[in-house]
Amino acid sequence: MSSMQYLKSSSNIYVAKNFIIWLMITAATLLVIIGFFETIETLRRVMRTEASFGVIIELSLLILPQRFIELLPFIVFLASLLSLWRLNQQQEITALRSLGISGGQLGLGLFVTSILVGTCSLAVLNPIAAVFNTRHVTLESRVLKRNHQSLTISNTGFWLKEIEGNTKTILHADSFSLNDRTFKNVTFYEFDTNDQFQNRIDSTEATLLEGRWLLKNTYTWRKDTVVSQKKELYRSTHLTFEKIKQSSIQPNQLPFWRIPTFIRQQIKNGMSALTYEVYWHRLWAEIALLGVMAILAVGFCLENTRRRGASHMIGAALITGFIIHFFNNIIHAYGVGDLLAPILAAWIPPLVTGLLGIGYLMHAEESS
C-alpha cells in the first residue's frame, strides 16, 4: 500500500479518529488543571481589591484560549502518545503492521491530521484568543486600578492613552523619531473620570524627557476657545520611553491576518517590529511543529509496550516532550532578543524536532 493510498484508507481514518478523541480528552483535562491554577493566581493578584468572584472567574477564563495555543504542541504530542499506546495495548498496531502498513505511514497519517488541527487552531482559535487577550488586559487593568498606557499605531499615526489618577489623556501624533524620541504634530486630549472633555493642546513637536514633555509651538484649547499660545511648554507625565514601547499592543492581541500590516506600520513609524515578526513566523512554524511532534510520538509507541513497559515509554516520552517545549521557548527568547533572525527562531524548533522524530521513528521501526 502506497502512502497516498494509506492516507485515504479506513485504517488511517480509524487511527485519526482515535487521535482526535484523545486530543479532546487531553485538552479538556489540561484546560481544567490550567484553569484551576489560573484562578488561584488571579485570586492572589486581586485579593486586595474589591473584585467579585465572577470577575476572578472571568479573568481566568479569558486567558485559557491563549494557554491552550501555547501548549498545543505538547497536547498533540501527549494525545498522539496516548491514542497509539491504547491501540498498541489492544494489539491494533500489530494488526495494522501485519497489513503492510509501515511506521512511516502511521507517522505520515498523524502528521497530516496534526497539520489540519494546527490550521484550524490558527484560523479559528487565534482570532478568538486575540479578542479574549485584549479583554483580559483591559479588565485586569480596571480591577487592579493601574495607571496604564496603551499604544496603537495605525495609518493615521500614533494613538497613546495614559490614565493617571482622575485624568485620562489621549495623545495623537503624525510621526515619531526613534533616535531623538520626538513626536511630530502632536495633539493632547484631556478628559476627566466621566470622559468629559477638559482641554486640548496642539504642538508641532513633543519630546519626551524625564518626567515631562517638552512641547514646542503650542496652542491650548478649552471648549473650542484658545486659552494660550506658547513657543515652549512643559507638561508633566509618568511616561517613559520604555513604558511607551511596552504599552504597544501585544502580538497575541492581534488576529493573525492583521500582523503583517501592523509590522509594516511599526517599521514605517520608526518602531521595532521584531517581536511581531518572530510571533508571525512562529504562528506558521508551530503548525509544522504539531506534525513532527506526532511523528515523534509514533516512534515511542511503535514497539510493543508489553515488551518495553508502558511506564518506561510514557515517562521517556513526557520528558522528551517537556524538553522540546522548553527548547522552543528558549529559541523564541533568542529571537525576541535579536540574537537570532525571526525566521530562524521560529523554524529551528520544528526542524530539530522533525529530524529527531524521523530518526527515532526509523530506529524504532528497524528494532521492532
Question: What is the DSSP code string of 230-299?
Answer: EEEEEEE----HHHHHHHBPPGGGS-GGGHHHHHHHHHHTT---HHHHHHHHHHHHHHHHHHHHHHHHHH
Q: What is the pLDDT along the chain (368 residues), one digit of tens a residue?
A: 676 777 778 888 888 999 999 999 999 999 999 999 988 888 888 777 777 788 888 888 999 999 999 999 999 999 998 888 888 878 887 787 777 777 788 888 999 999 999 999 999 999 999 999 888 887 877 776 655 556 666 666 677 777 766 677 888 887 776 667 788 888 888 887 677 777 888 888 888 887 788 888 888 887 666 677 788 888 877 777 766 665 567 888 889 998 898 888 777 666 678 888 999 999 999 999 999 999 988 888 776 544 555 667 677 777 888 888 888 889 988 888 888 899 999 999 999 999 988 888 888 777 66
Neighbours of 309 (CB within 10 A): 10
Q: What are the structural domain ranges in the chain? A: 3-144+271-367, 149-237
3-state helix, strand, coil in the chain (%, to 5): 65, 20, 15
Read off the DSSP letter of residue 9: S
| Structure confidence at residue 172 (pLDDT) | 83
Locus of grid cell 506558521: 284
Cβ neighbours of residue 105 closer than 8 Å, sequence gap 6 or more: 1, 3, 6, 12
| Structure confidence at residue 305 (pLDDT) | 47
Read off the DSSP letter of residue 125: I
Q: Which helix (H) or strand (E) holds 85?
A: helix 64-89
| Structure confidence at residue 245 (pLDDT) | 62
Global pTM value: 0.78
Which amino acid would we find at residue 334?
Y
Q: How far apart are CA 314 and CA 307, in angstroms?
A: 13
| Structure confidence at residue 306 (pLDDT) | 47
